[in-house]
Structure 1
Amino acid sequence: MSHSDLAGLLHDLRQAARTGSDLSAAPAADAARLLHLDALTLALRSRRGALELLWADPADPLGPVLDDLQYTLGEGPTLDAATTAGTVTETDLSAAPADRWPLFTPAACDLTARAVIAQPLLLGVATAGVLTGYRTTPGPFPPGQRADFTRFARIALDLLLHTPPRSLATASDGPDLHRAPVHQAAGILSVHLDVSIDEALLRLRAHAWRHDLPLLHVARAVIAGRLHLDPDT
């Protein structure tokens, strides 16, 4: 795709933001392709500091799976970008220092991810969310690609600010909260085990990691009553 195609998309999204459109106006698959990325995600930062996947290509699981992996393990570039309020890059995950993301890196490589760039969406000094791009080939992010990524991130923030809070909470008439079942399952566990929501979330993540299962799979099993976690574990 040519640079003019990207310029056209950015122009259309600026116009959409001016008229009050939310993130659903931005086609994730087209944006990733025009930015020369294999997956693109946007995570919203909640008031409690947790990151919730809000936007990705619904037809391609790579981005959501990598985002879920970071949420489950508690480490990774998206989390680092949110914590440091700075752009985080890794040009070759297969050659990254072993102590940078000791759990995330090998798991991401198993999923064919090789390069990543994560940019915080800043409102002054506050981080509203993080835009993360992935490639399945290693190599640097050239200055032009980084500049385009930054331009898209600014427009994505404008669209995010037009997303109604009620839509974010209910997943109606707007972008869906990808991990809504996880929070529903945590609520169930909190009651059944008489623990806090934070501890219930930790138990869900630990079970998913210990048994090498997708976090959403574990959450849906709890909701359906197929999985009962032991209160003593």
Structure 2
Amino acid sequence: MDQARLSQALADAVAAGGAESALAVCRACVEWLPMTGASITMMTVAEVQEPVCATDAVSARIDELQFGLGDGPCVESFRTGRAVLVPDIADPAETRWPVFASAAAATGARGMFVFPLQVGGARIGVLDCYRDVPGPLTDEDVTGALRTADAAVWSLLDHGRTGSDGEPEPAGAVDGSALTRAEVHQATGMIMAQARLGAPDALARLRAHSFRVGRTITEVADDVVARRLRLSPDGVWSTTGGGNPTDRATPSDDPVDPRSRDDEEKS
């Protein structure tokens, strides 16, 4: 790796500013580090997760998987404030995120390397990198990735994506792809009203149902927002109009949300 050229590419990306700055940082990462793809995602402690950019479809899919499951290396990196380095997500010995690992390996990703984005003591998101061959990063590669994460923070601050309280404001994808999570947030609010749940439980139910029926959380959220799918107060999903009858599920069918059975007993 040529540290000088990486530094120059990152400096140019940040100096350019504007909506393309963050994507330029990710592209520099892929060009000058042993990465196949990279993405930047903004996150909050309230589980709001907004994609900013992705260099390729696999990076975008990895981000979508972690948001849909609420688990994975980017979630761990954000929660702990530490880099999470996975030499091979397909390694059977990697047992931290079994469901995510299986789905991520199916995309062709092998090595996964995530770095938290921080402003002082406040975490605002992650730089999520992958490559299609297994193997650890060298110390020099990690140093370059940390430098890239710093540049990512500056590109976000320059683009005005953080509020006065240090929390990220809603952000769409800067590469033109449809990665925004507005539908998920809207669907969560509708489920809160339909089933009389708090926001964390409503989001958990949405994630659990998307996992059970084998669809992305965005697809399921679209059905909720369009009123093709709803969750009743007794925890039963039902379809309306042209919905698929196979999408019906009782709370006990949701494997990702073990609290659902307790909720049913209390109701």
TM-score, normalised to structure 1's length? 0.84
The structure-2 alpha-carbon separation of the partners of 1:184 and 1:148, relative to structure 1 and needing over 3 Å to count, comes to same
Q: What secondary structure does 2:52 align onto? A: strand
CA contact (8 A) 1:23 1:55 kept: no
Which deviates more, 25-34 or 103-112? Answer: 25-34
Name which of 138, 144, 152 aligns with 1:156: 152
Q: What secondary structure does 1:94 align onto? A: coil
* Counterpart for residue 129 of structure 1: 125
Q: Equivalents in 1 of 2:154, 2:4: separation in Å? A: 21
Q: Equivalents in 1 of 2:173, 2:62: separation in Å? A: 25
TM superposition shift of 1:177: 6.5
Name which of 211, 217, 220 aligns with 2:219: 217
The structure-2 alpha-carbon separation of the partners of 1:112 and 1:170, relative to structure 1 and needing over 3 Å to count, comes to closer
* Counterpart for residue 10 of structure 1: 10
Name which of 199, 203, 206 aligns with 1:201: 203
Please show how residues 60-99 of structure 1 align to structure 2 within 5 Å: 60-99=56-95
Q: Structure 1: which 5+ runs fail to align?
A: none
* Counterpart for residue 169 of structure 1: 170
Q: Equivalents in 1 of 2:44, 2:18: separation in Å? A: 17
TM superposition shift of 1:91: 0.4
* Counterpart for residue 141 of structure 1: 137
Give the counterpart letter for 2:221 in structure 1.
A
Q: Which has the larger radius of gyration?
A: 2
**Greater relative contact order (Cα < 8 A, sep 6+):** 1
CA contact (8 A) 1:171 1:177 kept: yes
Aligned residues: 227
Give the counterpart letter for 1:51 in structure 2.
Q
CA contact (8 A) 1:56 1:64 kept: yes
* Counterpart for residue 194 of structure 2: 192
Give the counterpart letter for 1:132 in structure 2.
D
Q: Structure 2: which 5+ runs fail to align?
A: 236-267
Please show how residues 30-69 of structure 1 align to structure 2 within 5 Å: 30-34=27-31, 35-46=33-44, 48=46, 50-57=48-55, 60-69=56-65
Q: Equivalents in 2 of 1:172, 1:13: separation in Å? A: 17
TM superposition shift of 1:51: 3.4
- Taking only the aligned residue pairs, the percentage that are identical comes to 32
* Counterpart for residue 249 of structure 2: none
Deviations 1:106-157 (A, max 9, x none): 1111121111111111223322211110111111212232222111111111
Give the counterpart letter for 2:121 in structure 1.
V
Instruction: Give me the CA root mean square deviation.
Output: 2.9
CA contact (8 A) 1:40 1:131 kept: yes
Name which of 97, 107, 111 aligns with 2:107: 111
CA contact (8 A) 1:22 1:161 kept: no
Which deviates more, 34-43 or 169-178? Answer: 169-178
Give the counterpart letter for 1:151 in structure 2.
R
The structure-2 alpha-carbon separation of the partners of 1:170 and 1:137, relative to structure 1 and needing over 3 Å to count, comes to closer
TM-score, normalised to structure 2's length? 0.74
Give the counterpart letter for 1:188 in structure 2.
M
TM superposition shift of 1:32: 4.5
